[in-house]
Amino acid sequence: MMVYLMACASIMRTPEHFTCFLLLVSVIHAANYGPTDRIFLNCGANGEISDDDGRKWTSDMNASSSVGNSLASDAATQKPSVPTTPYMSARIFQSEFTYSFTVSSGRKFVRLYFYPADYAKHVAKLGVFSVDIGPYSLLRNFSAFETATNLNYDFFSKEYSVNTGSGGDLNVTFTPDPNTPDSYAFINGIEIVPHPDDIYSSKGFTLVGASGSFGIDNTTALENVYRLNVGGQTISASGDTGLFRRWGDDTPYIYGSAIGIPVAADQNVTISYPSGFPDYVAPVEVYKTARAMLPNPQANLGFNLSWYFDVDTGFTYLVRLHFCEIAPDKTKPNQRVFEILINNQTAEAAADVILWASESKVPVYKDYGVFLPLGSPRQDLWLALHPNTYMTPMDYNAILNGIEIFKVNTSGGNLAGSLPNPIPSQPIIDPSRVLPLSKSDHKGGIIGGSIGGGLAGIVFVSLVVCFLSHKGKRQKNQNSSDRTSNWLPLSLYGNSDATAKTYGSYAPSNLGRHFTFAEIKDATNNFDEDRLVGVGGFGKVYRGEIDGGTTKLAIKRGNSLSGQGVNEFRTELEMLSKLRHRHLVSLIGYCEENSEMILVYDYMAHGTLREHLYKTQNQPLTWKQRLDICIGAARGLHYLHTGAKHTIIHRDVKTTNILLDENWVAKVSDFGLSKTGPAMDHTHVSTVVKGSFGYLDPEYYRRQKLTEKSDVYSFGVVLFEILSARPALNLTLSKEQVSLAEWALHCHKKGILDEILDPYLRGKVSPECFTKVAEIAVKCLADEGIRRPSMGDVLWNLEFALQLQESAGEGSVEMENDETPLNGKSKDFNESVTDSTSITSQSLASVDSNGLTPSAVFSQIMNPNGR
């Protein structure tokens, strides 16, 4: 490829003319591309370099370090995850700049590559700019830095599909944001790959939830916002069909604990593309893997297999779903029929892949249009599959192989939207901007930092003291209210989805809705003691109502006197405002007037998990409910540990910090003590020991070694608490029974673990399921963190236990399933092969010893080398 540069002057003709323009314009012209020409432009780099996919990237300059008003620069730092090509060099523009590519006619993928770092004197934060291609506005007021921060990515690329009329130029224009002082634009790489015009265009797509249809013609520009190989692994650019599309993993988008089951066709199975179905629609690997519902038809009726996608509102989206029936026993119509819902609207009432494709192992795809009306800037686009019972199919199940979601340009040619919603990361909000700083704040940190490993004894003593003093408090609290059975900061309540939907008026700070003190007083009837639902170290929690009683809230009012309270308040505010997960409470808002520290959450109708376990008037929870709650809580913790670049350690996992909403969905709460740990590395966070006695990781209080495995330990205690319906600590029992963790391990060693089972559950828990849950709980309590499973393994094993229970519940001992042979695998499982290998080989053994035949599904999912 030849790229040559034209200096500004040659375009602007005269120096006078030149100075008239506030924004300089210069052009890089790339010439002579035939119809199959692909352009990989490594902006700001020298020479020709190959990337990890073996593609050759060409420099956008000819051994010249400065072109017109632009500047070539290497990134100041290379984060370990960042590939060198094309990310480590950039071209920087301080005024408008156009790359002009001479291309053939037809549609092209244009991919823009960004690594927001400091470049020469230009700091990452000031890279705010617009990008246009001809009449299409791709990005406006775009900050690659904030995008990467919110997505928790180090680098990213954006993909567009545009039509270049009857040949000629494709002009990509970068313009620094005029409203940001010292702003600049930058680009690390530009890729232009022609694609067949017919892949994504059509005269009519049905609009879901609306009458009519819309078409994609040669005037439409698209932005690909999601492209997933459902149930399979990431397919890199070189694994695609010559179009260099990347197909990602779908697990981060699955909603709730019902993740179904990944399935895969045998290696020797041939996927046959029918005539009129070009190979380039999607690679074979997309069709060879899928996600299906569980092998248990009755259980499947109880849930939707759902995916949630954060998108901009005010656009129409093209949702393309790829299907291919790969289960050997599904070869005829009406064997697997399901409903497809998009944004709570029926897109397809009776999807039957075999009926559509007419044969098994033949791919088919379906396109749906969805319009998201303008509301709050972003919203979830939500896809759900549910078995169709009306058609009385052979099986109640559903399957999906791939998802592509495209944003369609508005009538004005716009594709630009807002920043993606933040997902967890290290807090970057400067709390001093938001909250009053108290002078005593820094003390805690200094004391914490100076406690060394040698002082463990003192820490231990202070814990005991702390425990005793809390015990006193607890007794007092019990007198004042029968619901306040807690002695550490009591729970927060929230519901992320309701939050996002009910409260459009989010403060720009992203910390949630700002309430005035008057509103809070009004909502709580001036902090009426009758509304008290809890008291903790931080302060009091009230039930509140707004909007004429239609919206219930939990309002946590901080003790402004407590220095620790300020810290915890701040931690919690920062953490919660960044976390969004079905199984984590999330914040609705806060109030910071009159030196009040108030956090506002959704009201959680069923209170804490502990209130439903023992010393309670409440109906005991069924075993299935308990398992679902464990799975939900495990999912929340797993998300804290791995959902973010920086591991978040909860530090205070216990049954009073697991809350239940009106649908008994478990939500992990109380992040007052949370710590973020360093990403990707297994060094620990050294810190003053905090947490709750009875749940504390022994390694943590012995050596102040805090890792995410400390949460795993506490979660093991929670599991035993649920199994046995007794407190983690019970001082009225004999010495060896005081600590539940020690007692459970003792019983396990003696082989009498079933003695600790909650009498209410006797005869209601399948022995295989009990063994499985007890086994995972014992592993969680391993003395050394390194020997404990990860939360992902715990989650996987609990889901397996649930399946054991459900198959036993139906009287079918054999793990009947319809997906054999499968060799998909669980991502969670895969994340920590060492830990899980030992667990799963044991779980297989224990299943065997109980006379169960582990099906091919599970044995293959458990095989880490499955694919």
Nearest by Cα to 351 from 306, 319, 387: 387
Q: Which stretch binds ligand NAG (CB under 6 A): 291-299, 302-310, 423-431, 700-708?
A: 302-310
Give the nearest residue (CB) to ligand NAG.
413
Q: Which is nearer to ligand NAG, 106 or 333 (CB)?
A: 106
- Looking at the DSSP bridge assignments, the partners of residue 50 are 56
Q: What residue type is 504 in one-letter code?
A: G
- Looking at the DSSP bridge assignments, the partners of residue 705 are 686
Catalytically active residues are: 652
Binding to ligand NAG in span 117-176, by CB under 6 A: 134-135, 141, 143, 146, 163, 165, 168-169, 171
Q: Which is nearer to ligand NAG, 497 or 596 (CB)?
A: 497
Nearest by Cα to 708 from 739, 674, 741: 674
Q: CA 129, CA 140: separation in Å to the nearest integer?
A: 6
Under DSSP, the state recorded for 548 is: T
User: Contact, 803 vs 816, CB < 8 A?
Assistant: no
User: Contact, 218 vs 161, CB < 8 A?
Assistant: no
Which listed residue (14, 32, 211, 268) binds ligand NAG by CB under 6 A? 268
Q: Which is nearer to ligand NAG, 408 or 723 (CB)?
A: 408
For 101, phi and psi rounded to 5 degrees? -110, 130
Which listed residue (259, 299, 408, 666) binds ligand NAG by CB under 6 A? 408
Q: Which is nearer to ligand NAG, 31 or 464 (CB)?
A: 31
278 binds ligand NAG (CB under 6 A): no
Tokens representing 322 are: 């790829």
Q: What is the pattern of x (binds ligand NAG, CB under 6 A) and - over residues 177-206?
A: --x---------------------------
Binding to ligand NAG in span 770-799, by CB under 6 A: none
Q: How far is the CB of 867 from ligand NAG (least distance, A)?
A: 13
Q: What residue type is 675 in one-letter code?
A: K
Q: Which stretch binds ligand NAG (CB under 6 A): 204-212, 408-416, 605-613, 769-777?
A: 408-416
SS3 49: strand
Residue with tokens 């694919």, as numbered in its chain = 867
Which listed residue (10, 65, 218, 462) binds ligand NAG by CB under 6 A? 218
341 binds ligand NAG (CB under 6 A): yes
669, 670, 673, 677: CA torsion to nearest 10 = 30
Q: Which residues contact 426 (CB under 8 A, 6 or more apart)?
A: 644, 645, 646, 676
Distances (CA, A) of 254 to 134, 385, 764: 37, 12, 30
Q: Which stretch binds ligand NAG (CB under 6 A): 406-414, 428-436, 674-682, 781-789?
A: 406-414
Binding to ligand NAG in span 508-547, by CB under 6 A: none
Beta strands in 577-643 (DSSP E): 587-591, 598-602
Nearest by Cα to 602 from 661, 519, 514, 656: 661
Q: How far is the CB of 180 from ligand NAG (least distance, A)?
A: 8
Q: Which is nearer to ligand NAG, 386 or 726 (CB)?
A: 386
Q: Which residues contact 736 (CB under 8 A, 6 or more apart)?
A: 742, 743, 746
Binding to ligand NAG in span 419-458, by CB under 6 A: 419
Binding to ligand NAG in span 15-44, by CB under 6 A: 27
Total residues interacting with ligand NAG, rule: CB under 6 A: 37
63 binds ligand NAG (CB under 6 A): yes
555 binds ligand NAG (CB under 6 A): no
Q: Which is nearer to ligand NAG, 361 or 610 (CB)?
A: 361
Binding to ligand NAG in span 679-708, by CB under 6 A: none
Q: CA 483, CA 769: separation in Å to the nearest integer?
A: 32
List the Cα angle 165/166/168 in 5-degree steps: 90
Q: What is the pattern of x (binds ligand NAG, CB under 6 A) and - over residues 68-107?
A: ------------------------------x-x-------
Q: How far is the CB of 104 from ligand NAG (least distance, A)?
A: 12
| Residue 471 counted as an annotated binding residue | no
Q: CA 196, CA 242: separation in Å to the nearest integer?
A: 11
For 162, phi and psi rounded to 5 degrees? -130, 155
Q: Are strands 248-249 and 222-229 parallel, antiparallel or unpaired?
A: parallel
Q: Which is nearer to ligand NAG, 63 or 446 (CB)?
A: 63
For 838, phi and psi rounded to 5 degrees? -65, -40
Q: How far is the CB of 218 from ligand NAG (least distance, A)?
A: 4
Q: Which stretch binds ligand NAG (CB under 6 A): 280-288, 409-417, 579-587, 848-856?
A: 409-417
Q: Which stretch binds ligand NAG (CB under 6 A): 278-286, 410-418, 645-653, 673-681?
A: 410-418
Q: How far is CA 846 from the centre of its chain?
A: 33
3-state class percentages of the chain: helix first, strand second, coil last, to nearest 5: 30, 25, 45
Q: Which is nearer to ligand NAG, 165 or 678 (CB)?
A: 165
> What spatial distance separates the first Cα and last Cα of the chain, rounded to whole Å?
39
Q: CA 48, CA 348: separation in Å to the nearest integer?
A: 49
Q: Which residues contact 849 (CB under 8 A, 6 or more apart)?
A: none
302 binds ligand NAG (CB under 6 A): yes
Under DSSP, the state recorded for 235 is: B
Q: How far is the CB of 171 from ligand NAG (least distance, A)?
A: 4
Q: Which is nearer to ligand NAG, 265 or 541 (CB)?
A: 265
Q: Which stretch binds ligand NAG (CB under 6 A): 402-410, 545-553, 643-651, 804-812?
A: 402-410
Binding residues for ATP, by number, are: 556
Instruction: Please give the residue ranges that form the binding site for ligand NAG (CB under 6 A).
Output: 4, 27, 62-63, 98, 100, 134-135, 141, 143, 146, 163, 165, 168-169, 171, 179, 218-221, 266, 268, 302-304, 341, 344, 384, 386, 408-413, 419
Binding residues, by number, are: 556
